[in-house]
Amino acid sequence: MAVRKKFHQFIFPSPTPKAIIRMVLVALSAYLFFGHICIPLRIKGSSMEPTYGDKSINFCWRLRYIFSAPLQHDLVLVRFAGNRVMLLKRVVALEGETVEFRGGKLFVDGVEVDEPYVRYPCNWNLPPRRVKKDCVYVVGDNRNMSIENHNFGQASIKRIAGAPLW
Amino acid sequence: MVKGKHVILTVFVVVVGILAGVFCFQSEGKKIKKQFRLLSKQASKDHHENNFTTARKARDISKLFAEQCEFRAHITSISGSHTRQEISELAARARLPFSRLSIRFYDLHIEFSEKKTARVTVTAQASGTLRGGDLVDDTLELECSLQKHDDKWLFTAIEVVEVLEK
């Protein structure tokens, strides 16, 4: 009974100055954490299938690339003007490397890249192009669509907002 | 006592000045946000829209733009300088294939560069259904220039920012 009362008091505290300060601190921490550090995401679309399905839930971990740069095969979130809408993509090439698609196969610097995460058939052809300085080349895992309908390409590292939490 | 009154009066004047400054600055930002809200409202379309409403909306969209507005986009057909009349026609043509269309703006960053000139970076999301039933979902980053004419902020330039460069 005492435990239940304590639990009730913890969840619905009396409006004492201490409880109000605690509530303000909790609200502020939640705002900072979920608004700027670990942003909730609802994935929309099928460009990352089967790794991430349409309408699945995840978080953008903003601290992922504070002390390091994205590497090949990393999953990243590319921001637009802000953090409300982001693109979830996979890094396939880094700055200075040459990217090419031949018969659906990815080639980086002329060497075919093994991509176990690509499960669906792909027939893309893209002439070679060099990734610019301070940029990474990102593509979705689902390439079972025409190359024109898939949103991919090189993005500035400054646009990498973070990585999905899982 | 007289000295104390002076201090209180000075503090009061400073506080009122700061509040007035903040209010004036916000009000310009709010006016710009209102223009984006209006653009979103006028550009969006539902299943029940009749021809009269379509024509009125196309005309109302053009009223949000200056007499000449510059479009810079990778879609060459709309790039260039357009008059209000041309914008009205472009808007009508762009909305025609849709049975339902929703345009939303997120993450508005407003910079007041010169007097009566503002630069806005924004994420624009268009989602809708074509008359044939196909779904459309596209997100763009836009850099917009607005100028103040008769207490109204009008679009003078819109540039599509290439987030992913193929």
Q: Decide if A87 and B125 are in contact by the 8 Å CB cutoff.
A: no
Q: Decide if A80 and B140 are in contact by the 8 Å CB cutoff.
A: yes
Both tokens of A88, joined, read: 């979830």
How remote is the C-alpha of B34 from its chain's centroid?
A: 7
Using the predicted structure, report yes or no on whether residue A134 has a pLDDT greater than 90: yes
**Least CB–CB distance from B165: residue in A44, A85, A153:** A153
pLDDT of residue B26: 59
pLDDT of residue A107: 96
Separation of alpha carbons A64 and A42, rounded Å: 19
pLDDT of residue B66: 94
pLDDT of residue A63: 96
CB pairs under 8 A between A and B: 52
Report the predicted TM-score, pTM, of the whole model to 2 decimal places: 0.83
DSSP bridge pairs for B68: B83
Do A129 and A109 contact (CB within 8 A), yes or no? no
Q: Decide if B107 and A84 are in contact by the 8 Å CB cutoff.
A: yes
B166 interface with A at CB cutoff 8 Å: yes
Using the predicted structure, report yes or no on whether residue A126 has a pLDDT greater than 80: yes
Q: Decide if B107 and A82 are in contact by the 8 Å CB cutoff.
A: yes
Q: Provide the 8-state DSSP code for A42.
A: E
B1 interface with A at CB cutoff 8 Å: no
**B129-158 per-residue burial string, b: 16 or more CB within 10 A, e: under 16:** beeeeeeeeebbbbbbbbebeeeebbbbbb
Higher per-residue confidence, A11 vs A90: A90
Give B-chain residues touching A159 at CB under 8 angstroms.
Answer: 163
DSSP B128-160: EEETTS-EEEEEEEEEEEEEEETTEEEEEEEEE
pLDDT of residue A115: 94
> Rg of chain A over CA atoms, in angstroms?
21
Is B2 in a helix, a strand, or coil?
helix
pLDDT of residue B24: 62
Do B121 and B142 contact (CB within 8 A), yes or no? yes
pLDDT of residue B1: 54
- The mean pLDDT of A36-56, rounded to a whole number, is 94
User: pLDDT tens digits, chain B, 166 residues: what are they?
Assistant: 556 667 667 767 777 777 776 666 557 889 999 999 999 999 999 988 888 999 999 999 999 999 999 999 876 777 899 999 999 999 999 999 999 999 999 999 999 987 889 999 999 999 999 988 988 889 999 999 999 988 899 999 999 999 999 8
pLDDT of residue A15: 85
Q: Provide the 8-state DSSP code for A113.
A: P
pLDDT of residue B19: 73
ipTM: 0.84
